[in-house]
Structure 1
Amino acid sequence: MAELTFWTGTMDAGKSTLALQTNHNHAARGRVGRIFTSHDRAGEAHISSRLGLTHDALEVMPEFDFWRYTVDTLTQGGRVDYFICDEAQFYTPRQIEALAKIVDELQIDVFCFGILTDFRTQLFPGSARLVELADRTEVLQVEALCWCGKRATHNARTEDGVMVTEGEVIVVGDVEDREADGQPAEVAYEVLCRQHHRRGLTAARAQAVSLAPEPLPFG
């Protein structure tokens, strides 16, 4: 029986790598699939891994209709055995419902990959709907690490090197981006443990604090 599977983890946990590996494994057995993504850091219609792997993909915009796309493909004689859906946190709840319908009605396997919460520690609507509907939700076993060495559980956004907890939910950036001069990028992301996310203590800020001079022993 076909299944809707949701693989999740923080940024830097290897979700896109696993998505590409999953596609490779199924294609190697003669299965025919489609790869989808949304707002990948490599640009529109691409899926990319931080290990350097890339693949062309179909870009999922809010108005994209998975059900209509699939029915049209099958009606025109195309073959579809599975879907690889990367950056699934950016899909709308309705799109997630369409993917579940495709699994149930058309017996097409759907493998979704994405993060659970945004930089405000709130569930993405697409991820929330996946948790509610998926046959299986799997947490990636590769643990991303906070700068302190503890397991990273939260995704932080920085603007000009300063952590922020307000703003637009979808802003494309990468983990620990740096400009050519070595300064923090205008918008970047960093994975943190809960304690340091709560304190707003990024790696750069922690380093600045550790390098601050000790107060003079006066008074």
Structure 2
Amino acid sequence: MRFFWGPMDCGKSTMALQMNYNHARQGRRGLVLTRIDRSLGPQVTTRIGLAHEAIEVTDELDLRTLVRERWSRNEGVDYLVCDEACFYTVEHVEQMAELVDRYDVDVFAFGLATDFRSYLFPAARRLFELADEVTRIQVQVLCWCGRQGLLNARVVGGSVARQGEQVVIGDTVDDAQVRYQVLCRRHYRTGDLGPGHPA
């Protein structure tokens, strides 16, 4: 089980689709899963325009049952690509570990580590605890000031939000009602969104 993490815009979904492509090209059979993709559909989409159909992960979905049902229909499953894994439940992460340990299914999970308040998502915390390998994605995301972007700020009404539901769908475009912006720690803490955005 491998967990690839980083802030928004670092290419997690792009890497997830590349991982699926590389494994499928070698004849391995896999499933692509997601939860709360930016498209709000059962697909993995990227900001650079790539997309792939996916299975939507709900609270009720048991990943082990999903794999066993495929096997019962003689549809092999060698690996899972789990995008937006930070939004899965902790139980889903436990199921991933069981698929790896009991059934030799490879799991490649991709997601954010922390929410808009800079606290770990529960599923991300469990992935850090259980994954065989944890890798920060190396595509560097920059804050508006040029420093490394580390934290995902939720922007509501032109200001950095400090309270609210852990998961709220938004985008990165300036005119969205709820949007997200990657900031360095300094500007995340001060709520400074850069020139043209009063703090």
Q: TM (normalized to structure 1)?
A: 0.88
Question: Does the Cα contact within 8 Å between 2:30 and 2:80 map onto a contact in 1?
Answer: yes
Quickly say closer, same or farther: Cα 1:98–1:148, change in 2 above 3 A: same
Gaps of 5+ in 2: none
1:191 counterpart letter in structure 2? V
Aligned counterpart, 2:89: 92
- Structure 1 residue 207 displacement after superposition: 2.7
Residue 45 (structure 2) pairs with residue 48 (structure 1): yes
Please give the alpha-carbon distance, in whole angstroms, between the structure 1 residues aligned to 2:197 and 2:185: 20
Gaps of 5+ in 1: 179-183, 211-219
Aligned counterpart, 2:21: 24
Of 113, 128, 137, which residue of structure 2 is paired with 1:131? 128
Q: TM (normalized to structure 2)?
A: 0.97
Please give the alpha-carbon distance, in whole angstroms, between the structure 2 residues aligned to 1:105 and 1:171: 35
Identity fraction in percent: 44
Of 82, 100, 105, which residue of structure 2 is paired with 1:103? 100
Residue 194 (structure 2) pairs with residue 194 (structure 1): no
- Structure 1 residue 39 displacement after superposition: 0.4
Quickly say closer, same or farther: Cα 1:44–1:208, change in 2 above 3 A: closer
Counting matched residue pairs gives 199
SS of the residue corresponding to residue 196 of structure 2 reads helix
Question: Does the Cα contact within 8 Å between 2:158 and 2:197 map onto a contact in 1?
Answer: no
Aligned counterpart, 2:110: 113
Residue 73 (structure 2) pairs with residue 76 (structure 1): yes
SS of the residue corresponding to residue 207 of structure 1 reads coil
Deviation digits for residues 62-120 of structure 1 (CA, Å, limit 9, x no counterpart)? 11111111112112211001100000000111110000000011101100000100000
SS of the residue corresponding to residue 19 of structure 2 reads helix
Aligned counterpart, 1:62: 59
Question: Does the Cα contact within 8 Å between 2:35 and 2:87 map onto a contact in 1?
Answer: yes
Aligned counterpart, 2:145: 148
2:196 counterpart letter in structure 1? Q
Question: Does the Cα contact within 8 Å between 2:192 and 2:198 map onto a contact in 1?
Answer: no
Runs of 4+ residues deviating >6 angstroms: none
